[in-house]
Structure 1
């Protein structure tokens, strides 16, 4: 996890506004920073805030190689198959840094084929000074963030890992300029024009959820050809965890005690023993008082023998950090904000009290495996499948955004195995009826894939789905009830009428009010409120769905 920032189409050196914008993402990379222009011909300004995870000596960016001196790369990402690519194509690597593979793939295959050969998560900008081209791309599910500011009127374009690094430039751009997230699974090619201006040449969507990998898979078809669908599911999820162990920094796991985080933790602990990592896996759970999550996570940690940390928070913590959470999220979505508060507080604890830097988490499982309670109300298997695809297509706006921003705010790097391309391709192509909830149990197929593994106690493997705000809260009081009480004390009497999706509760009005303080007019960052489908509810919390069993 790092921070990238670049501008193209400006004249002269770095302005005070540019430097202020660049420094706004320092939390993404506190280990080192660099900002530079090409002295031979200013094709743009590129900046990098580094969190050193792999190759501490040679991994600094912007990256140039002796072999290709006119190519410059900035990338926030991890390329899990960089060694396989080297073996497959005999790439002459100059560093031990995984993102170097992007440059070699571009030079050997062109940008369109290059992005399809990458097994990893990434957001990058590659400048080819000789061809006067700029290429921008983002990983298939948008695990790594990327925003783009485009001002066609002035021939200007800028990119950054977070919007807070561009909002100051947006205020100085033309009225027709646009600022928003660069879409996952896409690639753009820009031309450098005479006079230094830039122009978008073409856009390509290279990935849609559920499609097969176009790179050499981490697990060969021969390895799994004789396995049952359950065995294959378990095998590929473990492989997704294995490839993500790539790190020179300490690895830990976020552990709520629910199925998703518990499975990932169990697999990481298993792999850490196999690969003889020189430390015990740390696990981290958070809750209010006697929350169900704390109790369940404690059970998992004791079963697995991890170095477990319990973090307890109260309404004073919520009061102190609520506005900061919205600023880091760059969103005013209700569900996203609620769920982000505990994760933000947990990340803060990890940063301040431990040496863990890389954290595994269970994001993506509900989208891939139909884990939300409302999937029980799907009218048929096709509708359920289509909803999975929709959720995965938009995960970068909601759960994916939450997971990245809350951890990156405290300089942690997140790893999400459930969004592995080979795993999602397998799971989304299983017989649709097997993927639906069975007998009132969500993720029935996923649970049964590990039923005989001994990785987890059955009480955890078949634990019912909690609403996030109930899981972390005291059994006496839900988190969103606590938030509501705080907001009613703070909400101004008069709230402006905002464009875009309309807030209609005190909670949603407050989130929008705080969002507008830092990102005025950028309602497009949240195109719609996340809500369950096929059910009639006035609040996005799962506790309002008739099937909810946690009450």
Structure 2
């Protein structure tokens, strides 16, 4: 997890703009560099580094002797860097995985490069000989990127907060900040004054498209469950690429338990010289804590239980929303525990690379409301919609809560090859079956003895629910807290005060208030509230649904 920041074509003195990049310093606690580009006086690139691979030559902006006209900053991991080196006979000068992007671009252009990257990434690449700038982001937006463009001014940053306050001096208004769309590459040309002119944007990957790059995963066979096991295992194995200690978030649910089990299995096979650390979080009485303890004992990990009180959770809400840059109800609820456990990991352990189970519910139809899907085809459409919007919700949550404490999150369920294959399976097989969500995924590992059988078949528990006790859920704690702080008059005036996504509950109003303190007028960053489909409820908690355990 690193932080990237760049500006092009500013009318203002670049040196006065550069302090904005310090707003994302938490993303890269190991090193910082900011550089003006030769002969491009109104261009500046900045990089906050979290050193994971190649501690000596991995600093950015990245340049190599063979391609001196290329400058690049990127945040991500390219898992097939050695494969593309061999495939195209590239001569690497570093051990940094990101160098593959430079050589792929030089070989076939920016779109070609993005199509051949097996990994997660957000990059800014400047070709000084062609006077062009390229932006790119991975298929699911696992690595974040925001940009602002107006009248020749282009600015890019890992988080929106790093662009706040920047303004093109020829305008009398603030330039709009937008998330860069996942799975796209965008091209700008720079004129002689360094002004950026938009040229084109192309989508290089669509949800469900099979990848174009070579992979180390085993070849597909006729058996669906074998392919699921092989591809998920390969997704975990490739993500063990790191020179820093690896740990796992472990809620005791199916997704995080499978990921942790595969991490432990592959780490042993690769001879990793330490015990994998696992981390569970919750309030006293948490169902997740108990389930995670059982999994950790089964796997033999160095397990950490991180408890927080109701008061600590409430007190953290402001910082959580500031880091998230979101006011979405379920995102904020689920982020609180993840933010606090990330704080513990950063302050008390040496684990830096953290595995998690994000993406499984969207891909494998794990949300309880999928029981209500009218048809398998409609469930498939909904699954793909969720995957398309992940970067605005669960992926955003996973990135911000960990990056806020200088950690790097890895999410094997969103491996491009795994997701593409899973979506190619008959929609009827991917539906909940016999009252059990993610039945196909569970059955694929049923005889593998990777995790306890009762955990493998444990019913879905929303993260924001599992961190609390069965009798007193986290969302009820929040609702009790806001009840006396938001009055009925506030709710009556909510549509006028907040016409975009007006809050319909006191909890939503409270979150929106906190968001507006940090990001006034930026509500469109979240296009809609995440809510379960095919369900009559005003609350996103799974506990409101009839299929809840």
Measured against the shorter chain, the TM-score band is over 0.9
Give the gaps of 5 or more residues in structure 1. none
| Aligned position for 1:544 | 544
Which residue is 2:367 aligned to? 372
- Structure 1: how far apart are the matches of 2:32 and 2:546? 51
Post-superposition offset of 1:469: 2.5
Structure 2 CA distance for partners of 1:475 and 1:170, relative to 1, 3 Å? farther
Per the TM alignment, residue 490 of structure 1 is displaced from its structure 2 partner at its CA by 4.2
Alignment partner, residue 144 of structure 1: 143
Query: Which of residues 161, 165, 176 in structure 1 aligns to 2:162?
Result: 165
Count of matched residue positions in the alignment of Structure 1 and Structure 2 = 543
How big is the shift at 1:21?
1.2
CA distance 1:499–1:179, shift in 2 (3 Å) = farther
Cα distance between partner residues in 1 of 2:270 and 2:467: 33
SS of residue matched to 2:454:
helix
Residue by residue over 1:186-233, the C-alpha shift from the partner in whole angstroms, topping out at 9 and shown as x without a partner, is 110001013221110001011111110011123253xx32x5100110
Which residue number in structure 1 is paired with residue 520 of structure 2? Answer: 520
- Report the Cα offset of residue 381 of structure 1: 1.1
- Aligned residue among 176, 179, 183 for 1:178: 176
Structure 2 unaligned segments of length 5 or more: list them: none
Matching residue of 1:83 = 82
User: 1:460 aligned to 2:458?
Assistant: no
Q: In the alignment, is the contact (CA less than 8 A) between 1:138 and 1:185 conserved in 2?
A: yes
Whole-Å separation in 1 of the counterparts to 2:267 and 2:215: 22
Q: Distance in 2 between matches of 1:420 and 1:174?
A: 44
Structure 2 counterpart of 1:63: 62
CA distance in 1, matches of 2:172, 2:139: 31
CA contact (8 A) 2:218 2:230 kept: no
Q: Distance in 2 between matches of 1:490 and 1:323?
A: 15
* Separation in structure 2 between the aligned mates of residue 40 and residue 264 of structure 1, nearest angstrom: 48
Q: Give the whole-Å Cα distance in 2 for the aligned partners of 1:30 and 1:168.
A: 23
Q: Partner residue of 1:472?
A: 467
- Tell which deviates more after alignment, 186-195 or 358-367: 186-195
Structure 1 position 24 matched with structure 2 position 23? yes
Contact 1:11 1:196 in 2 (8 A): no
Deviates more, 1:41-50 or 1:206-215: 41-50
1:3 equivalent in structure 2: 3
Aligned to 2:231: 236
- Residue 197 (str. 1) matches residue 195 (str. 2): yes
Q: Is the 8 A contact 1:348 1:410 kept in 2?
A: yes
How do residues 277-426 of structure 1 correspond to structure 2 at under 5 angstroms? 277-426=272-421
Q: 1:492-517 CA deviation, whole Å, 9 max, x = no partner?
A: 87567123111111111111111111
SS at match of 1:339: helix
Report the RMSD for the aligned CA atoms in angstroms. 1.4
Instruction: Name the CA distance, whole Å, in 2 between partners of 1:171 and 1:192.
Output: 16
Contact 2:5-2:21 within 8 A present in 1 as well: yes
CA distance in 2, matches of 1:56, 1:67: 21
What's the offset of the Cα at 1:171? 9.1
Q: Which residue of 444, 451, 458 maps to 1:449? A: 444
Q: Which residue of 2 aligns with 1:128?
A: 127
2:209 equivalent in structure 1 = 211
Measure the CA separation in 1 of the matches of 2:539 and 2:35: 48
* Equivalent position SS for 1:178: coil
* Contact 2:167/2:174 (8 A) holds in 1: no
Deviations 1:94-142 (A, max 9, x none): 1000000000000011111111000000000000001000000100000
Distance 1:186 1:175 in 2: 28
Tell me the equivalent position of 1:267. Answer: 262
SS of residue matched to 1:394: helix
Query: CA–CA distance in 2 between the matches of 1:176 and 1:348?
Result: 33
Q: Secondary structure at the match of 2:62?
A: coil
What SS is found at the alignment partner of 1:167?
A: coil
| Aligned counterparts of 2:360 and 2:117: Cα–Cα separation in 1 | 22
Contact preservation (8 Å) 2:168, 2:175: no
TM-score by length of 1: 0.96
1:430 aligns with 2:429: no
Q: Is the 8 A contact 1:53 1:248 kept in 2?
A: yes
Give CA deviations for 1:523-551 in whole Å, capped at 9, x if unaligned.
Answer: 111100000111111111111111111xx
For 1:432 and 1:174, the matched residues in 2 are separated by 52
Contact persistence 2:14–2:42 (CA under 8 A): no
Shift in Å, 1:348? 0.3
How far 1:20 moved relative to its partner? 2.9
Equivalent residue number for residue 503 of structure 2: 503
How far off is 1:43 after superposition? 5.8
* Structure 1 residues 290-331: Cα deviation after superposition (integer angstroms, max 9, x where no partner): 111000000000000000000111112123211000000000
User: In structure 2, the residue corresponding to 1:261 is in which secondary structure?
Assistant: helix
- Report the 3-state secondary structure (helix = DSSP H, G, I; strand = E; otherwise coil) of the residue aligned with 2:199: strand
Q: Is the 8 A contact 2:465 2:541 kept in 1?
A: no
User: Higher mean Cα deviation, 474-483 or 155-164?
Assistant: 474-483
Instruction: Provide the rounded CA distance (Å) in 2 between the counterparts of 1:515 and 1:423.
Output: 35
**CA contact under 8 A between 2:83 and 2:215: conserved in structure 1?**
no
Q: Is the 8 A contact 2:40 2:194 kept in 1?
A: no
